[in-house]
C-alpha cells in the first residue's frame, strides 16, 4: 500500500520522497526522464560545472561526469525500502489515482521547461535554450543571448571567459530585476568592461539565420551570432491529465496552491516550479519537506517569505528579501547600510576587490529586512544573513556577532 505518490523526481520530488520514507511513509515516485530534474541534468549543476572550468573543452568533458556522479547518488537515496521508483510518466486517472497507483496524498513536482519567444526564426538550428547550449561540442565564436535574467547573465559571464564574443539583448532597462538596482548595475558594468555588449530596453523581433533583429529606442538594430541562446524564462510543466484530478491550474501560471502548497483538491499538493511561486531548486526542496510535515502532522517554521537566491556570474551576485525600491514602494520605514570589498582584508588578499554589500533594516539598526551582495562568494555571505533574517535578528545583533578574521563575511559588520 502506498501512503504518498510523488510525480517527478527533481529536487523537490526526490527530497520529499526520501524525507517521507525516513519518517515511515510508503512512497511511490514517478519519473519518466532522469532523477534530479532540470537542476541536476540540464540546469544548476551543469551550469556551475561550466562556471568552475577553465576552458570550454574542460567544461564539456567534466559536465557529464559530475552529473552522472550526482545522479547515482540520488538513485541510491531512492533505493530506500519505503520508496518505489516507477520510471514512467505519472498520469492522473482521478484525484486519488496516478497510473494505476492509489494513495491518500499526492505531490505534483513536475518542474518547468524553457520558455521560447514566439518570434519568427525561434525554431532555427542555431537557436536554443540553456539545455541545447550545454550540449554544444564547439565553442561559438559569436554568442547572442536574449534575456538578462539569471540564466542569461550566468552564461554571458562564462562564455565570455571561454572566448566567445557575447552580446546580450534585454527587454527591460536593467538586468536581474529581482536583484537590487545598485547591485545589478554594478555587475552589468563590470561585465561590459570585460567585453560583453549589452542592449537594454530592446525588444527582439526576429531571428534570420545568424542575424538577430531587435528594436531599441524606436530604431531597428541587428547583431550577428553563430548561436542564439533564448534565456527568456521558464514555464510550469502542466499536463492535460491534471484535469482528471480536478484541481485548479493555468498553463502559464502553473498549479494554484495555498500557503501550505495545497491545491484546490484535498490531499493533492504542488511543489517547486510547477506552482510558479519561487522557481528555485532549494525552494522546491523546502516546499516538499513542508508538505510532508503537514501530512505527518509535524509543525515547522520554514520561512518561505525570505528565499535567498544567487547568480553565479564572475563575481557572484546574491540576495534575500526586498530590494530598496520595493521597500520604498511598500512604504516600509527602513535604513540602508553599505560596505565594499575593497576595504576587506581577505578580498584584497584574494585579489577580489570588486564587490559591494547592501543591508536594509528597520530604523536605528533594527530588524534586518534584506541583503543584496555583489562580489566573490556573495551566495555564502547572503546565506549568513538569511539565517539572521529568518530568526528575526537585528543589524545590531549581526554586528555583535564575532566574525573570523580575515574572512569575506567581515564585510557584513563593516557596513555603515
The C-alpha atoms of residue 83 and residue 146 are separated, in whole angstroms, by: 41
Residue 392 cell numbers, joined: 528575526
Q: Are 182 and 372 in contact (CB under 8 A)?
A: yes
Measuring CA to CA, which residue among 186, 181, 136, 147 is closest to residue 324? 181
> Which percentage of the chain shows pLDDT scores above 90?
100
C-alpha to C-alpha distances, 282 to 144, 288, 369, nearest whole angstrom: 29, 10, 20
C-alpha to C-alpha distances, 53 to 59, 63, 166, 188, 326, nearest whole angstrom: 5, 9, 18, 22, 36
Measuring CA to CA, which residue among 226, 214, 60 is closest to residue 148? 214
What would the pLDDT profile of 96-140 be if each residue is shown by its tens digit? 999 999 999 999 999 999 999 999 999 999 999 999 999 999 999
What would the pLDDT profile of 31-56 be if each residue is shown by its tens digit? 999 999 999 999 999 999 999 999 99
User: What does the pLDDT average to over 166-190?
Assistant: 95
In sequence order, what are the residues at sequence separation of 6 or more whose Cβ sits closer than 8 angstroms to the Cβ of residue 316?
Answer: 310, 373, 374, 375, 376, 377, 378, 379
Does pLDDT of 13 surpass 90? yes
The C-alpha atoms of residue 358 and residue 187 are separated, in whole angstroms, by: 14
Instruction: Give the start-end residues of each E strand in 140-272.
Output: 142-146, 165-169, 197-199, 202-208, 211-216, 219-224, 227-230, 234-236, 249-250, 254-255, 268-270
Residue 31 cell numbers, joined: 519519473
pLDDT band at 57 (very low <50, low <70, confident <90, very high): very high
DSSP symbol at 123: T
Measuring CA to CA, which residue among 89, 105, 86, 85 is closest to residue 97? 105
Does pLDDT of 79 surpass 90? yes
Q: Are 207 and 228 in contact (CB under 8 A)?
A: yes
Position 179 scores a pLDDT of 92
pLDDT band at 201 (very low <50, low <70, confident <90, very high): very high
pLDDT band at 1 (very low <50, low <70, confident <90, very high): confident
What would the pLDDT profile of 289-321 be if each residue is shown by its tens digit? 999 999 999 999 999 999 999 999 999 999 999
List domains and CATH numbers for the chain. 4-113+234-296 (3.50.50.60), 127-230 (3.50.50.60), 315-412 (3.30.390.30)
The C-alpha atoms of residue 384 and residue 409 are separated, in whole angstroms, by: 8
Does pLDDT of 352 surpass 90? yes
Residue 217: CB atoms within 10 A of its CB come to 8
The C-alpha atoms of residue 124 and residue 108 are separated, in whole angstroms, by: 33
Residue 236 cell numbers, joined: 510550469
Residue 105: CB atoms within 10 A of its CB come to 21
Q: Are 23 and 300 in contact (CB under 8 A)?
A: no
Q: Are 308 and 318 in contact (CB under 8 A)?
A: yes
Q: Are 384 and 320 in contact (CB under 8 A)?
A: no
Sign for the CA dihedral angle at 286, 292, 295, 296 comes to negative
Question: Which residues form the catalytic set?
Answer: 405
The distance from CA 306 to its chain's CA centroid, rounded to whole angstroms, is 14
Instruction: Give the start-end residues of each E strand in 117-195.
Output: 127-128, 142-146, 165-169
Position 216 scores a pLDDT of 96
Sign for the CA dihedral angle at 210, 213, 214, 218 comes to positive
Amino acid at each position: 500500500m502506498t501512503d504518498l505518490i510523488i510525480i517527478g523526481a527533481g529536487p523537490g520530488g526526490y527530497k520529499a520522497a526520501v524525507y517521507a520514507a525516513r519518517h515511515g511513509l510508503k512512497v511511490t515516485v514517478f519519473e519518466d526522464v532522469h532523477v534530479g530534474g532540470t537542476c541536476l541534468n540540464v540546469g544548476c549543476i551543469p551550469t556551475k560545472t561550466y562556471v568552475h572550468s577553465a576552458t570550454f573543452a574542460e567544461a564539456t568533458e567534466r559536465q557529464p561526469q559530475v552529473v552522472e556522479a550526482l545522479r547515482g547518488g540520488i538513485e541510491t537515496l531512492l533505493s530506500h525500502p519505503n520508496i518505489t521508483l516507477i520510471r514512467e510518466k505519472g498520469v492522473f486517472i482521478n484525484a486519488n489515482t496516478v497510473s494505476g497507483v492509489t494513495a491518500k496524498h499526492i505531490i505534483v513536482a513536475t518542474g518547468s521547461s524553457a520558455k521560447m519567444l514566439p518570434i519568427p526564426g525561434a525554431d532555427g538550428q542555431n537557436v536554443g535554450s540553456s539545455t541545447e547550449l550545454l550540449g554544444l561540442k564547439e565553442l561559438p565564436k559569436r554568442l547572442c543571448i536574449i534575456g538578462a535574467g539569471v540564466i542569461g547573465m550566468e552564461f554571458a559571464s562564462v562564455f565570455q571567459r571561454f572566448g566567445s564574443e557575447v552580446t546580450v539583448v534585454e527587454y527591460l532597462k536593467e538586468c536581474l530585476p529581482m536583484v537590487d538596482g545598485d547591485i545589478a548595475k554594478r555587475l552589468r558594468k563590470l561585465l561590459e568592461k570585460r567585453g560583453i555588449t549589452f542592449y537594454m530596453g530592446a525588444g527582439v523581433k526576429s531571428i534570420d539565420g545568424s542575424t538577430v533583429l531587435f528594436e531599441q529606442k524606436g530604431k531597428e538594430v541587428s547583431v550577428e551570432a553563430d548561436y542564439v541562446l533564448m534565456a527568456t524564462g521558464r514555464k510550469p510543466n502542466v499536463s492535460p491529465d491534471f484535469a482528471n484530478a480536478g484541481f485548479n491550474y493555468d498553463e502559464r501560471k502553473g498549479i494554484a496552491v495555498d500557503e501550505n502548497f495545497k491545491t484546490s483538491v484535498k490531499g493533492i499538493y504542488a511543489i517547486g516550479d510547477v506552482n510558479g511561486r519561487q522557481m528555485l531548486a532549494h525552494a522546491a526542496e523546502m516546499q516538499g519537506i513542508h508538505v510532508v510535515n503537514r501530512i505527518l502532522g509535524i509543525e515547522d517554521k520554514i520561512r518561505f517569505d525570505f528565499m535567498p537566491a544567487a547568480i553565479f556570474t564572475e563575481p557572484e551576485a546574491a540576495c534575500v528579501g526586498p530590494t530598496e525600491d520595493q521597500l520604498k514602494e511598500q512604504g516600509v520605514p527602513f535604513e540602508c547600510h553599505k560596505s565594499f570589498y575593497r576595504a576587506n582584508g581577505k578580498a584584497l588578499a584574494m585579489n577580489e576587490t570588486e564587490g559591494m554589500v547592501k543591508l536594509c533594516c528597520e530604523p536605528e539598526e533594527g530588524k534586518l529586512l534584506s541583503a543584496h551582495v555583489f562580489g566573490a562568494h556573495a551566495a555564502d555571505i547572503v546565506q549568513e544573513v538569511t539565517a539572521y533574517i529568518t530568526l528575526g535578528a537585528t543589524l545590531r545583533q549581526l554586528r555583535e556577532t564575532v566574525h573570523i578574521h580575515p574572512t569575506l563575511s567581515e564585510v557584513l559588520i563593516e557596513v555603515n
